[in-house]
Amino acid sequence: MDAISTLLSEEILIRSLYPLLNEEFSDSIQSPYSKSTPSAVTAQLSGIERLLLEIRSDSGKSLDELFISFSPDYEELFYASFDASKECLVLLYSSLQNFQTSLSPLQTEFDVVECINLVTNTIDHLGQIDVNLSN
């Protein structure tokens, strides 16, 4: 879980979204000018999702089995948060391809902040999983 949290923090937040928020487009790992960026972001998030589905606890339980042991609703909450993060990021980068003509700076900032909040929620959920596994 730590590796996935770090990946989300380092690659998505620090190297991608925060530079966009500060309008430092050249510092962002994902270029808003590239037509391949939405596909690259989708591939990165799909890879994270595959890792999540393959994770096993020390006792051999899958992530879904761990979620059920935490709470009946936790699995749905986690995947809803993760899916919202994915959707937000893909839509953000798709809309940024034409950002100079189609989006106001205020709308762009709002969209980036929304994605930051959703990714941060996913990271927080992963942290809660680690805490529950430690107990």
Q: What is the pLDDT of residue 32?
A: 56
Q: What is the pLDDT of residue 26?
A: 67
Could you give the C-alpha distances from 78 to 17, 49, 61, 70, 123, in angstroms and in order? 21, 12, 17, 12, 10
Which residue, 116, 87, 90, 92, is CA-closest to 103? 92
- Is the pLDDT reported for residue 113 higher than 90? yes
**Where do the domains of the chain lie?**
2-134
Mean pLDDT of 105-117: 88
State the average pLDDT for the chain: 81
Q: What is the pLDDT of residue 124?
A: 92
In terms of pLDDT, which residue wins out, 123 or 57?
123
In terms of pLDDT, which residue wins out, 84 or 63?
84
pLDDT band per the 50, 70, 90 thresholds, residue 114: very high
pLDDT by residue (tens digit) across 30-71? 665 556 667 777 888 888 888 888 887 777 888 888 888 888
- Is the pLDDT reported for residue 82 higher than 80? yes
